[in-house]
Amino acid sequence: AQRVTQPEKLLSVFKGAPVELKCNYSYSGSPELFWYVQYSRQRLQLLLRHISRESIKGFTADLNKGETSFHLKKPFAQEEDSAMYYCALVDSNYQLIWGAGTKLIIKP
Amino acid sequence: KAGVTQTPRYLIKTRGQQVTLSCSPISGHRSVSWYQQTPGQGLQFLFEYFSETQRNKGNFPGRFSGRQFSNSRSEMNVSTLELGDSALYLCASSEGLARLSYEQYFGPGTRLTVT
């Protein structure tokens, strides 16, 4: 079955430290993957998608087909990065499948 | 541009009743997708409408239905409500079909509580 796994429900790091939010997927074929973010009291919004190979707010995510991973990384965490992060995959039925989400807390 | 709006924001219903939720997409967006979010199951895709046609449907019972109007506004209906239908229902709009990786813009959600 196609699935997105975010193994960490909660991740807490200090400001200035590197951040890595893990996302693993199961999908046969070339996946379309996304990271969405929800800041406190704000709506869910797209952070980045792998096809764009972009860096948004200092975050990057590289697709690793061998490890079936799409981890989200940022070299130096900032307090405003505290939020809920969701990894999502477009499955073979063209539906978005979501991970359970990781709550990121940046400690001052 | 105004963002995606959803009405009502909060709703309390009794088991067995039916409910209709509304979503107004961003102007110019033709696709509207609906999601159910619960603590236990997380975010789950319900269906997607594009140009008044349902283009995709998730794995939900037939009690969940929807429609889209010519102005792209969409409604979602749940009949014979069950306690397990209590959830946050999110609507998202995009310029094109989600399958084509168009960015989805989410509304604030409707919090449905079934008692």
Digits of tens for pLDDT over chain A (108 positions)? 789 999 999 999 999 999 999 999 998 888 889 999 999 999 999 999 887 777 889 999 989 989 999 999 999 999 999 999 999 998 888 888 999 999 999 999
Residue A22, Cα to own-chain centre: how many angstroms? Answer: 7
Interface size A-B, in CB pairs within 8 Å, comes to 44
Distance from CA of A71 to the nearest CA of B (A): 19
DSSP state of B99: G
Q: For residue A93, which residues of chain B lie inside 8 Å, CB to CB?
A: 56
pLDDT in tens, B65-95: 999 999 999 999 999 999 999 999 999 999 8
- Count of residues in chain A: 108
In the predicted model, residues of chain B with pLDDT beneath 70 are none
pLDDT at residue B5, rounded to an integer: 97
**How far, in Å, are A20, A30, B74, B112 from residue B77 at the CA level?**
39, 34, 10, 12
Q: For residue B106, which residues of chain A lie inside 8 Å, CB to CB?
A: 43-45
**To which H or E segment does residue A103 belong?**
strand A102-107
Q: What angle do CA B101, B106, B112 make, to 5 degrees?
A: 130
pLDDT in tens, A10-31: 999 999 999 999 999 998 888 8
pLDDT at residue A92, rounded to an integer: 85
Query: Across the interface, do B3 and A46 touch by the CB < 8 Å criterion?
Result: no
Range A67-105 burial, b when 16+ CB lie within 10 A, else e: eebbbbebeebeeebbbebbbbbbbeeebbbbbbbbebe
pLDDT at residue A52, rounded to an integer: 77
The Cα A34–Cα A48 span in angstroms is: 6
Distance from CA of B76 to the nearest CA of A (A): 18
Of A106, A18, A57, A40, nearest in space to A48 by CA: A57
Residue among B42, B48, B107 whose CB faces A101 most closely: B42
Distance from CA of B70 to the nearest CA of A (A): 23
Asked whether B81 and B15 are in contact (CB, 8 A), the reply is: yes
Contacts of B37 (CB under 8 A, 6+ apart): B43, B44, B87, B88, B89, B90, B109
